[in-house]
Amino acid sequence: MRKVEILRYALINAFVTAFYIILIASFLYSGERFFGDGKTVLIPIAMLMLLVFSAAFTGFLIFGKPIMWYLDNKKKEAFSLLIYTLSLFLIITLIALLFLTALVK
């Protein structure tokens, strides 16, 4: 597998993960408008269910294809994809933090 293809998979994985996080954070930020003040036991239950789903979904996005490639005996490609994905996601995170820092000032 060529390095360009691995990098393309890493870009897709990192950006889809970031988009999912933005989507969930936006939902949580405006949740009171949808559900009211939520003085019920269902809110913590829903939050824990969302946490479990989010951990599984983002884990699949970050680790899914590298694990499949590793099990298919493409160990070098699997490691490269994992490192590229995590590196790109770190860059996206740092850019978001810089953007937020600039907004606060």
Per-residue pLDDT tens for 37-47? 777 888 889 88
74-89 mean pLDDT: 97
Q: Alpha helices of the chain — where are they, by DSSP H?
A: 3-29, 31-35, 42-71, 75-104
Distance, CA of 58 to CA of 51 (rounded, Å) = 10
Q: How confident is the model over 20-38, as pLDDT tens digits?
A: 999 999 988 887 787 777 7
Give 23's DSSP letter: H
Distance, CA of 2 to CA of 84 (rounded, Å) = 13
Averaged confidence pLDDT in the chain: 93
Question: Which residue, among 68, 69, 63, has the nearest Cα to 82 in the 3D structure?
Answer: 63
At 99 the pLDDT is: 93
Percent of the chain with pLDDT over 70: 99
52-62 mean pLDDT: 97
